[in-house]
Amino acid sequence: MPLLSDSIERFIKELMAQGNEVSLRRNELAQHFGCAPSQINYVLSTRFTLDSGYVIASRRGGGGYIRVMRIAGGGENLLRYMACSGIGEGISKARAHAMINRLLEEKTITLRESRLMKTAVDNCAQPVAGLQDGMRARILKSMFCVLLMESI
Amino acid sequence: MPLLSDSIERFIKELMAQGNEVSLRRNELAQHFGCAPSQINYVLSTRFTLDSGYVIASRRGGGGYIRVMRIAGGGENLLRYMACSGIGEGISKARAHAMINRLLEEKTITLRESRLMKTAVDNCAQPVAGLQDGMRARILKSMFCVLLMESI
DNA sequence: TGCATATAAAAGTCAAAGATAGTCAGGAAT
DNA sequence: ATTCCTGACTATCTTTGACTTTTATATGCA
């Protein structure tokens, strides 16, 4: 008897065979496999991670969905390496900036993009009052300011 | 089956295709979509917000109406407004996305930039193990993945 | 006529119900 | 020991309906 998680993983990957994206209803999928809905979350969070090249987006409420996207671009490129292997569970500010600079030198990103990325990693790493909303506000503001500087 | 709210949103935006303003009768519109009149208010208050560049004016009583107006103009002024007045000490995910979408529609930022910004605000607001380095790693990874992704 | 009041015709508000998805602790299986 | 799986609880998004407020118009009366 194959593992439930493996079956669900394979099923989702088959759905994605055409195209790099698929949209799921969590409850439907759970019913199809006769398991708890939260099992789907388990599979997604263990088998469709950023590190393994997937991005998940979802929405709750009526008309809710889970979208699984596969990151394109096979093998060799620098970005892929950086995204998948170059960062572990944690990274210093210095290393983050170094990686961003490297992408800029390779012309993989623009100057503006590099500045947006740097301000995001710089500002995300300090604690802030009003936890979630406060952090969001700080990062967003810092990015707006980057754009504003650029436009002057 | 597309979501009712989405259909109504699209319908209103199509009506506005010519010109930056449209006038509606709430009850007529509700009847057209076979829904409760208050549904229209819901759509207006979630999809036609100030952050996303709309202003609503209305009048009750006989001859009542709802007028939806699109605020024109992007660039430096919009950025300055958003950076200075648009965000307080905290901001929700929904508002942050609305503002970023608006910048995109006004062509003040590119699609790629909008995706980088969204992923930064989305990922900065969840707790993470290994506080500072962990947060930096997650944001950086998520931004690298945006760059890798062909389509969202 | 001119004013006050009633009636009708809008639109607004808000809380509750419905419809999804997410989280997390803990037991089960390997 | 680690990975798998579930269920209870939480969070978010949509839709509705009962009730309120506002405005225009009709009616009645001095």
Tens of pLDDT, residue by residue over B109-145, are 999 999 999 999 999 888 777 778 889 998 998 898 8
Mean pLDDT of the B59-79 span: 93
Name the DSSP letter for residue B63. Answer: T
Distance from the Cα of residue A144 to its chain's centroid: 22
CA atoms of B51 and B41, how far apart (whole Å): 17
Q: Which residue is nearest to nucleotide C11 (CA to C1')?
A: B60
- Give exposure, A91-126, as e/b (b: 16+ Cβ within 10 Å): beeebbbebbebbbeeebbeebbbbbbbbbbebbbe
CA of B38 to C1' of C12 (A): 8
- Residues of chain A in contact with residue B131, where contact means CB-CB under 8 angstroms, are 125, 127
Angle formed by the axes of helices A111-124 and A131-151, to 10°? Answer: 150
Q: Are A37 and A85 in contact (CB under 8 A)?
A: no
Q: What is the mean pLDDT of chain A?
A: 89
Confidence at A83, pLDDT banded by 50, 70, 90: low
Residue holding tokens 């699984």?
A: A68
CA atoms of B5 and A139, how far apart (whole Å): 30
Domain B4-70 fold = Phenylalanyl-tRNA Synthetase; Chain B, domain 1 (3.30.56)
- Residues of chain B in contact with residue A45, where contact means CB-CB under 8 angstroms, are none
CA atoms of B137 and B131, how far apart (whole Å): 10
> Model confidence over A86-138: pLDDT tens digits?
777 788 899 999 999 988 988 889 999 999 999 999 999 887 777 778 899 99
Beta-carbon contacts of A28 under 8 Å, excluding residues fewer than 6 positions away, are none
> Model confidence over B70-117: pLDDT tens digits?
998 888 899 999 988 878 888 999 999 999 999 999 999 999 999 999
Q: Are A121 and B139 in contact (CB under 8 A)?
A: yes
Cα separation values, A103 from A59, A78, A83, A96, B63, Å = 32, 8, 12, 11, 59
Residues pairing with B67 in the sheet: B23, B57
pLDDT at residue B151, rounded to an integer: 36
pTM of the predicted model over 0.85: yes
| Cβ separation B90–A63 shorter than 8 A | no
Name the DSSP letter for residue B86. Answer: I
Pick from B124, B132, B150, B151 the residue to mutate for testing the A interface (most A CBs within 10 Å): B124
Q: Which two tokens stand for residue A102?
A: 């490297």
The domain limits of chain B are 4-70, 75-148
Distance from the Cα of residue B67 to its chain's centroid: 18
CA atoms of B53 and A32, how far apart (whole Å): 42
CA atoms of A109 and B21, how far apart (whole Å): 38
| Closest by CA position to A96, among listed A61, A72, A120, A112 | A120
| Closest by CA position to B37, among listed B17, B57, B66, B14 | B66
